[in-house]
Structure 1
């Protein structure tokens, strides 16, 4: 503390009395003290002292480098860039400053500049793994994922234990995998009246630059009847922060809607919020249209979402809502989930198949679901398990309830990089 006070007194004396604007003293001792200041919530005072030191020792590059890094940490990327340029013009053999300068460009969303700088740095440090890693980062930020993948392969060929490169490569494989196939199965067990009901899904997903396309086959085994439904889901990208969902499905089975279609718009909002608004339409003997909307919020590794379904009907309109939560681990494929909901919606609850599907829109219901999703080490295989319990009003016996216990398992596999 005494050292810090000493440096502050020097600064104050120098600037207050105007007798001189250069530093007198031991720069090594002062630099050590200033570093402590910078890491103890005295960043502004530390930067003032660093600039003062540089008036007398302009080529003390460790001091200038530290000043540049504090600028970058504070988001003053242009100031940091100016200091790094001064250092590297005079001493281009300083590897750590090349790395910090390139990182500063990446932080400032200037991947093109960062990529150019890696080319310069590699002239002095050929095939250095850390510089190549930054090159791959710049390439990925410029949507040159294939080039970034090859750069990471170059690193790992000579440095197979480079942990950052290995993790980055796994994430790129995940991003570059344009095709996914998946299968899932679930079963509902009823406390009374009904036999267990089984649900199966086969899907193929193709990612494109315009958005993803999901082809699905739903197979239900209910009421001693097996039915199939063919569906296509699309998630087109419209513009930055705005995308859509569109769906169409057909079936000839009596236990599934003959036709279903829907659409929804999703919009990113400030403060990490997202909102959506859309509809779903189901056709059995007549059409039922369901209005839906959601609000989501990302905070750190957590995601909260509330979705409501409103089904206009006669004599009453049915309203349901579900609050969902996800706690992410290392990435979007690994998370714990939980949801609670009240109200009945034809979109998310199973009709009982008693021939009265069009009228069942205002049943009482409560539900709780817990789930866990995880991936293999290389992110190629994705697994999910979910268990739930529903307290559901019986469609043909209003006022009477039963319990539904459900469990589901899923497996998705990413297919190559093309």
Structure 2
């Protein structure tokens, strides 16, 4: 009996000494390393594996903010918005001034279209962190956008641009808002083309009016009058930019003229897609009817990078005697706002959208470079000026050198 008691006593002592050590060995881990491992798995699409690791970390560190946010994000990316919200709420309770928690939670609420709760979280974030939080302020603009209050959305977006112009996707977003808020405007442009040789200068004048309707989006009526080749001619056009959904819009153009240097009839249409990470793609078609009809397939790809906008357009022109292509690259650098920019443009061949050029006479070995500046001087007046130089192939051994100056202004009301 004494031996049995002694054995039990020694067993209890042994277990008392070893169990804490075993438990410590089981629970000892680096939470930061596990967070990085889980993040890698989740970004690779292995959500469940990543969440198992995050649950382990939360078991010991239940207020680890980045882990709570990543867990919420993983559920949001799977479309499980209610599950995601649980973790974002915990992250905000753990640290009410953690900006990343507000950003992730607001994004989740936008995706689930829970705008009422999103408004409350935005208000809480601006109260706890302050209006200097540009990411939260940017999302407050987005909230107005979803409510279709585009003027309020644009006002806030411009404030964000003034302090944080490198916000990803901001310029493209502002461009979308500008299309939705520009209701009425009148504008005029003038182009002067000087040719090195015997050809007389060209003078081209254009006036236009713009408004907005729910069906057409921006609607622009334009009349262009030009003096070319010792003759005169006028062209009338109508442009429309209808909305085709939340991230898509269209372009339609029709025009008519009896002048020989303008197409008798012109038609154009395109669809634009606003894609993630500030990309924009376009696919379209143009028709120009002179003595013969020219069909053109066109497309472009654009990207906003910080204060820069980059765009490459390609045109494909099928023909009976062979097909041809042309290209146009344009970049803009934005200064204090989305309508205050410097631009550079280079192009080869002929383009259906450059109306000041001689579409009929130019051949493929034509090149053009152009620089310019546009600025919104007041809330109502906008002005611009461009200077370009082109070397156009007229025949196999004949080239025409051209200096172009273009100025314009617009009044908004």
* TM-score bracket for the superposition, by shorter chain length: 0.5 to 0.7
Specify the SS of the correspondent of 1:292.
strand
Question: Structure 1 residues 24 and 229, CA, compared in 2 at 3 Å: closer, same or farther?
Answer: closer
Pick one of 320, 337, 342 that aligns with 2:344: 337
**SS state at 2:292 partner:** strand
Distance in 2 (CA, whole Å) between partners of 1:346 and 1:244 is 12
Tell me if the contact between 2:274 and 2:281 (Cα under 8 Å) persists in the aligned partners: yes
- Residue of structure 2 in register with 1:9 after alignment: none
1:86 aligns with 2:90: yes
Residue 140 of structure 2 corresponds to 135
Partner of 1:55: 59
Conservation of the 8 A alpha-carbon contact between 1:23 and 1:55? no
Compute the TM-score of the two structures, normalised by the length of structure 2. 0.66
**What residue is the counterpart of 2:107 in the other structure?**
106
User: Residue in 2 aligned with 1:69?
Assistant: 69
Aligned with 1:290: secondary structure? strand
Return the offset for 1:213: 1.7
Are residues 212 and 111 of structure 1, via their aligned partners in 2, closer, same or farther at CA, if it must alter by over 3 Å?
farther
Partner of 1:293: 297
Per-residue deviation, 1:401:
1.6
In the alignment, structure 2 segments of 5+ residues that lack a partner are 1-20, 44-48
1:366 equivalent in alignment to 2:375: no
CA pair 391-181 structure 1, distance change in 2 beyond 3 A: same
- Name the structure 2 match of 1:230: 236
User: How many residue pairs align between the two structures?
Assistant: 361
1:144 to 139, 149, 154: 149
d(CA) in 1 for partners of 2:398 and 2:161? 59
Cα–Cα, structure 1 residues 264 and 367, in superposed 2: closer, same or farther, change >3 Å? same
Match of 2:207 in 1: 202
Q: Is the 8 A contact 1:341 1:367 kept in 2?
A: yes
Find the counterpart in structure 2 of residue 277 from structure 1: 285
Q: What is the aligned partner in structure 2 of residue 214 from structure 1?
A: 220
Does the 8 Å CA contact 1:34/1:49 hold for their aligned counterparts? no
8 A Cα contact 1:102 1:118, kept in partner: no
User: Which of the numbers 399, 403, 406 marks the counterpart of 1:406?
Assistant: 403
Separation of aligned partners in 1, 2:148 and 2:25: 48
> Which residue among 249, 258, 267 is the counterpart of 2:256?
249
Q: CA deviation at 1:56?
A: 3.3
Is the alpha carbon distance of 1:241 and 1:389 closer, same or farther for their aligned partners in structure 2, counting shifts above 3 Å? same
Residue 408 of structure 1: how far off its partner (Å): 2.7
Q: CA deviation at 1:293?
A: 0.8
Shift in Å, 1:345: 7.8
In the aligned structure 2, how far is the partner of 1:22 from the partner of 1:377?
67
**Among 282, 306, 312, which residue is 1:304 paired with?**
312
Residue 390 to residue 196, structure 1, CA distance change in 2 (3 Å):
same
Give the Cα–Cα distance (whole angstroms) in 2 for the partners of residues 39 and 53 of structure 1: 10
CA shift for structure 1 position 387:
0.6
Q: Is the CA contact 1:22–1:52 (under 8 Å) kept in the aligned structure 2?
A: no
1:404 is displaced (CA, Å) by: 2.4
Pair 122,187 (structure 1): closer, same or farther in 2 beyond 3 Å: closer
TM-superposed CA distance for 1:292, in Å, is 0.7
Q: Does 1:261 align with 2:266?
A: yes
Q: What displacement does 1:80 show?
A: 4.7
| Aligned residues of 1:311 and 1:345 also touching (Cα < 8 A) | no
Q: Per the alignment, do residues 382 and 137 of structure 1 end up closer, same or farther by CA in structure 2, a change over 3 Å counting?
A: farther
Unaligned runs of 5+ in 1: 1-16, 353-359
Specify the SS of the correspondent of 1:329: strand
Determine the C-alpha separation between the residues in 1 that align with 2:351 and 2:125.
67
Partner of 1:194, secondary structure, is coil
Is the partner of 1:202 in helix, strand or coil?
strand
Q: Summarize the Cα distance change of 1:147–1:402 in structure 2 as closer, same or farther, 3 Å threshold.
A: closer
Contact 2:369/2:388 (<8 A) preserved? yes
Distance 1:72 1:385 in 2: 50
Question: In 1, distance between residues paired with 2:23 and 2:52?
Answer: 17
* Distance of aligned partners of 1:175 and 1:372 in 2 relative to their CA distance in 1, 3 Å threshold: farther
**What is the match of residue 177 of structure 1?**
182
